[in-house]
Amino acid sequence: MSAQELRAGASLAGIFGLRMLGLFLILPVFAVHAPQLSGGENLVLVGVALGAYGLVQAILHVPFGMASDRWGRKPVMVLGLVIFAAGSFLAAGAEDIWTAIVGRGLQGAGAISAVVMALAADLTRDQHRVKTMAMIGATIGFSFALSLVAAPSLYHWIGMGGLFALTGVLALAAIGIVAWLVPAAPRRALAPGAPGALRAALRDPQLLRLNAGIFVLHLVQMAMFVVVPPLLVASGLPLAAHWKIYLPVVLASFALMLPPVLHADRRNAGRSVMLGAIGLLIVAEGGLTLSGPHIALLAVLLLAFFCAFNVLEALIPSLVSRLVPAQARGTAIGVYNTTQTLGLFCGGLLGGWIAGRYGPAAVFGVCAALALAWLGIAYGMRPVNRISGESFTMGTVKGR
């Protein structure tokens, strides 16, 4: 990787990391805190609050991605971060579950994930793109690990309102990275055929398989974390000590994800590595279905989940970026991120509903079944060439 590619990857990973750290600080403690809010004893509403962020992002990812194709990545990123910060400060003052839901929804309106990934693809060569996406994915994973360690203590010191306010401050800090550290995107023709790009992105069979996969992956993630924190409490591990499970598990998963990610990058073996990671996800969810509140077994199965999750988080967006030309990249990644965040919303809603009616084991069982269905969908995918947009047609614009 060149110096500019390293700078681009590091700075964009930093933006993702600051933004996602704020979101992840909420995840380990919100389900435990929610009963203190008016209406928060309703598990379905707790799931909606966790997933509202994803629903609103799902609506806005494509418009943000298309806007970045036409008007540039950086201005759209700054706008999204300002909106995200506003939602965080609104949620900081929530005294009832509905205000928390609205604040989480406004957070989701800062839908810049597709824009950041499109800029990462703009600034890196195809042969190094998996590495760049892995840098972003590793930073997201590190933010998640840090949040799992820090969230219980921060919650004890500053409360849920303080956590949401901190989220807003981190988003504002990310604006500084956009302004001063992220390299400018290369000069390129604006995308005059954006409507054609959207139609093509919605029809392409390869993209449809990847989009279905990221939907399932994030549905599973959000559904799990409706039930995992209470399950750890039930196993005898108090909330303030959850980091003793999360930190070693997530850090070990970083080390274990590197060999398959590098193999996929060097050998152009994205499809086979993806199928293996989906298989590991099925094993993890199936094991969690049977595990019960046993801490050691939960730790091993969570390690398997995070290994699979981290590999797939790095691999799938790289494959999406290779399937489309630069002129349509923001649009296509916007569709990808729409399905991703729809998965977050549906996972929160479905996880809360199933847990309330049938218990945690049923949540894990449904997640295993969905991952198995994803494996069947992904199996028919063709290997993806290194040449971006080789088979993607957008009106009169072709990537070849």
Give per-residue pLDDT as tens, 174-188: 898 888 888 877 665
Does residue 96 sit in helix, strand or coil? strand
pLDDT at 386: 52
- State both tokens at 353: 């509903």
Half-sphere exposure of 136 (CA within 13 A, CB side): 29
- Give the pLDDT band of residue 395 (cuts 50, 70, 90): very low
DSSP for 311-357, please give it: HHHHHHHHHHHHHS-GGGHHHHHHHHHHHHHHHHHHHHHHHHHHHHH
What does the pLDDT look like over 49-101, one tens digit per residue? 877 877 787 788 788 878 887 787 889 999 999 999 999 999 888 888 889 89
Note the pTM of the prediction, 2 decimals.
0.73
Instruction: Tell me the chain's radius of gyration from C-alpha atoms.
Output: 20
Instruction: In whole angstroms, give the CA distance from residue 197 to residue 100.
Output: 36
| Contact between 142 and 310 (Cβ < 8 Å) | no
The dihedral region occupied by 248, where left means phi > 0, alpha psi between -120 and 50, and beta the remainder, is alpha
Confidence check: pLDDT of 316 > 80: yes
The mean per-residue pLDDT over the stretch 301-326 comes to 84
The contacts of residue 237 (CB under 8 Å, 6+ apart) are 244, 245, 295
Task: Quick: pLDDT tens for 105-160.
Answer: 888 888 788 788 888 878 887 667 767 777 777 777 677 777 777 887 888 888 88
Collapsing DSSP to helix, strand or coil, 44 comes out as helix
Q: 33 is written with which tokens?
A: 């805190």
Mapped onto helix, strand or coil, the DSSP state of residue 393 is strand
> What domains, with CATH codes, occur in the chain?
3-182+194-392 (1.20.1250.20)
Which of helix, strand or coil describes residue 38? Answer: strand
How far apart are the C-alpha atoms of 400 and 389, rounded to whole Å? Answer: 6
Q: How confident is the model at residue 253 (pLDDT cuts 50, 70, 90)?
A: confident
Asked if the model's pLDDT at residue 370 lies above 80, the reply is: yes
